[in-house]
Amino acid sequence: MITSSVQVPPAPNAARRHVYSNPDETISRRARQCQYCTQREEDGVAMRKCGGCKVDRYCSKKCQKAAWPVHKKICKLNQETNSILELHSGDLERLEALRDFTRKHRSTISEAAFHSVRHNYLPPLSADPAATSEVREDVLVIELRTRPNAQQARPEKRFYVMGAQLETFASFFPDEKLEEMRLRLRSTRVEATRHRGLSSAVIVVLCLVDPDMDLMNVMPIAFLLDQSDVDELELP
């Protein structure tokens, strides 16, 4: 558990806000996409949440149905998490706030995740990015804490970052979570490769480490192995 001695940084104002974290989400719409076909929300497509877990989003019932053979296991796990949190007053509400925060900052988080692992797929560390993708199990862990008076703050300002580090599945997740995380990583990589080209993926875990509560929000991020995502992630 992180101690509370770290000074709370001031909430960013409009002049200092990262361009990817605009509350109007004009840029983050690029990162929000159908979990099956990867069509992006910026294309004018309305995304709908899965009715079961309320987490994954799809552009159509057709895509949701096509994704179900893979998603059904993840859906069940998400529903189990929600059910556990509903037993504790305020826990589910804070998890929903954390998910909202993640959605608002998805583009910034995606950029950080991509650049944290990119070097592992380039020479001299790798001569075959596709083979490297099959064996790497990277986790970018971002530690957060709730701001004072967070309930009155905008969603993108409710939490602040305490630190971040790159881990592996084996070093971060308990044994009982490994199968679930490998399923998320593999399904993200396979679907991205199917619809965009040869891709890999990294798992991002946003860890909320408040004095009275520990929560995690897991977000898989896919990226193209031909490095063309570098251009997409350049700031306008």
Would 5 be classed as within a structural domain?
no
The total number of structural domains in the chain stands at: 1
Question: pLDDT category, 43, cuts 50, 70, 90?
Answer: low
Highest mean pLDDT among 72-76, 117-121, 149-153: 117-121
Alpha carbons 227 and 119: distance in angstroms, whole number: 11
Alpha carbons 186 and 189: distance in angstroms, whole number: 5
Sorted by sequence, the CB contacts under 8 Å of residue 45 that are 6+ apart come out as: 34, 39, 59
Would 211 be classed as within a structural domain?
yes
Would 144 be classed as within a structural domain?
yes
- DSSP for residue 56: -
pLDDT score, position 189: 92
Would 45 be classed as within a structural domain?
yes
Higher confidence at residue 93 or residue 2?
Answer: 93
Say whether pLDDT at 233 is over 90. no
Nearest to 160 by CA among 146, 175, 180, 149: 146
Model confidence pLDDT, tens digit, residues 68-95: 988 888 888 878 777 766 656 567 788 8
Alpha carbons 47 and 129: distance in angstroms, whole number: 32
pLDDT score, position 204: 96
Question: pLDDT category, 15, cuts 50, 70, 90?
Answer: low
Q: Which domain holds residue 87?
A: 19-232
Would 104 be classed as within a structural domain?
yes
For residues 136-154, average pLDDT: 91
Residue 72 backbone phi and psi in degrees, to 5 = -60, -35
- Looking at the chain, the whole-number percentage of residues with pLDDT higher than 90 is 37
Would 95 be classed as within a structural domain?
yes
Question: H/E element holding 144?
Answer: strand 138-146
Question: H/E element holding 99?
Answer: helix 91-104
Highest mean pLDDT among 89-98, 115-124, 147-156: 115-124
Alpha carbons 222 and 188: distance in angstroms, whole number: 6
Rounded to the nearest integer, the mean pLDDT of the chain is: 82
Higher confidence at residue 150 or residue 160?
Answer: 160
Say whether pLDDT at 236 is over 50. no
- Would you tell me how many other CB atoms lie within 10 Å of the CB of residue 138? 20
pLDDT score, position 143: 96
Say whether pLDDT at 4 is over 50. no
For residues 186-193, average pLDDT: 89
AA letter at 138: D
pLDDT score, position 118: 92
